[in-house]
Amino acid sequence: MTLPPAALADRALLWHWLAEVFLAAPSADRLAALRDGAGRKWLAALATEPAFAAPVAQIRTALAVPQDTAQLQTRLTIAFNGLFLGLGGKRTLAPNDSAWSKGGLFRAPVAEMTALLAACDLRLAEGCCEAPDHLSVELMLLAHLETHADPRAEPLRDRLRLWLPGFCAAVRAEDRTGFWAGAAALLLAALDHDELIPQPEERTVK
């Protein structure tokens, strides 16, 4: 895949946004931007791409509930903790490659991602609580590799395509807010989208 620098920057923005979505519950400030700020314009631009229209519509519907931003932030935090942080018991969905691959949690994918990060002269920041095979780590690394036209980006995309369908299907089945269900659908659509990702004039989400 060969894309111009602007397209690569736009893809990187989307990967970073999705990485943040699956890393932590959105802050009140981020939700405010998504509801009525730069983030809202960015989602509207994404929705002009037919492949992204339905997922973005689901995200926007989740943001449009009749609650103020503080109430919505509390609701989404509770949902995030239940979906991804273990508070959902057996229904918790670990956003880790190894949880959806053969071999068991924190096995081969952790070692493989650790090796890939090292080969790219990268490492997780001190104090990072996530394993190297966490979805957010893989997406941020993908953004880095694509931006630098690194040939290792394609194998990483292939890696994501192997385990994300199962994870995203589970998220869509379990998420009652629609926010992460829409994000999961957007993630799968973006992985198969090799063209310019639509953006507003101001390339920011905030």
Q: How much is the pLDDT for 6?
A: 52
Residue 123: pLDDT above 90?
A: no
User: DSSP readout, 74-133?
Assistant: HHHHHHHHHHHSSTTGGG----BGGGSSTT-TTSHHHHHHHHHHHHTT--PPTT--S-TT
Percent of the chain residues topping a pLDDT of 90: 74
Residue 116: pLDDT above 80?
A: yes
* Contact yes or no for 52/58 (Cβ under 8 A): no
CA atoms in the 13 A half-sphere facing the CB of 20? 11
* Contact yes or no for 168/97 (Cβ under 8 A): no
The model's pLDDT over 32-77, given as tens digits with 9 standing for 90+, comes to 999 999 999 999 999 999 999 999 999 999 999 999 999 999 999 9
CA distance 194 to 183: 18
Q: Does the residue 156 lie in any domain?
A: yes
Q: How much is the pLDDT for 88?
A: 57
Find the CATH number of the domain harbouring 16. 1.10.3480.10
Least confident of 134-138, 162-166, 193-197: 193-197
Q: Does the residue 198 lie in any domain?
A: no
Query: Can you tell me the mean pLDDT for 11-21?
Result: 95
User: Is residue 21 packed enough to be buried (19+ CB in 10 Å), middle (13-18) or exposed (0-12)?
Assistant: buried
Q: Does the residue 159 lie in any domain?
A: yes
CA distance 200 to 44: 8
CA distance 170 to 93: 7
pLDDT band at 127 (very low <50, low <70, confident <90, very high): confident
Q: How much is the pLDDT for 4?
A: 47
Q: Does the residue 203 lie in any domain?
A: no
Range of the domain at 173: 5-191
Q: How many domains does the chain have?
A: 1
Q: Does the residue 200 lie in any domain?
A: no
Residue 9: pLDDT above 70?
A: no
Residue 150: pLDDT above 60?
A: yes
Least confident of 79-83, 98-102, 138-142: 98-102
Q: How much is the pLDDT for 23?
A: 97
Q: Does the residue 197 lie in any domain?
A: no
The model's pLDDT over 170-201, given as tens digits with 9 standing for 90+, comes to 999 999 999 999 999 999 999 988 665 666 65
Q: Does the residue 199 lie in any domain?
A: no
* CA 138 to each of CA 48, 58, 110, 121: distance values in angstroms, whole numbers, following the listed order: 26, 24, 11, 15
Q: Does the residue 196 lie in any domain?
A: no
- Please name every residue paired with 34 in a beta bridge, in sequence order, or none if there are none: none
pLDDT band at 151 (very low <50, low <70, confident <90, very high): very high
Residue 103: pLDDT above 90?
A: no
